[in-house]
Structure 1
């Protein structure tokens, strides 16, 4: 599959201030403004994570952070998974998840992965081998579930 985006995979320390700003802006545009969630996005996990950014023509269109085991869950995790409104409907979310899993496995080997997912995206994540592993719970007034992908 030909890649649609140019990918950058960096530690927090490797991010330029411009890259960090772009990431935080995209996360705010979607999670705070679009989804109308009032929450503290800067949760002090970013400094411990790797950051995956997908660019097209210099514009950040997709982002996820790879969270080490023991930070959010006992297993490594993928969080803050987001695609810009400009990039939706083009398969960027599919590419983002494929590349995220690939990068997570480079860091941690073939491992169980756990995520916190918005309930309406359950089928999307199931297409990558994730299965629901918790009851539905509210997070910022949005129904969420934990999902787990066993090592394959």
Structure 2
């Protein structure tokens, strides 16, 4: 199927189910982090995903400015484990940033990144703006991108 971006209300129930399933597999099961995955923010987000053979293999949710932070934002960034180390994460980020710039007409992007991915996000010109802190017992850092 390839890359798709939809608002919450454009998602089919099957797409939503697959997205939530994969988010839980990565954030709750793989990272052993019990937390409330469904946080009511999906309703106002755009959902960027790549589906292959009926599976969600990459995903991020995107927010316009003022919905999560004062700046536009994205989060819940995942690449299915069997598809990592193939450039899928880089493609996902390029598409998320392009959507924010081209469709939402936003320049600045703020994210909450897991600290071990700091260098990955820095390769896209994101800069750390906080010290490392724990979020759900996982080291995070806030980062910003200014166009």
TM-score (normalised: structure 2)? 0.96
Q: Which runs of 5+ in 2 are unaligned?
A: none
TM-score (normalised: structure 1)? 0.93
Q: Does 1:38 align with 2:34?
A: yes
Query: What displacement does 1:110 show?
Result: 4.4
* Greater than 4 Å deviation, 4+ residue runs: none
Q: Distance in 2 between matches of 1:35 and 1:70?
A: 29
Superposition CA RMSD, Å: 1.1
| SS of residue in 1 equivalent to 2:5 | strand
Structure 2 match to 1:18? 14
Q: Determine if contact 2:65/2:106 at 8 Å carries over to the other structure.
A: no
| SS of residue in 1 equivalent to 2:60 | strand
- Can you list the C-alpha shifts for 1:115-151, whole angstroms capped at 9, x where unaligned? 0000000000000010001111101111000000002
- Can you list the C-alpha shifts for 1:62-81, whole angstroms capped at 9, x where unaligned? 00000121222100101100
Q: Distance in 1 between matches of 2:18 and 2:9?
A: 15
Q: Which runs of 5+ in 1 are unaligned?
A: none
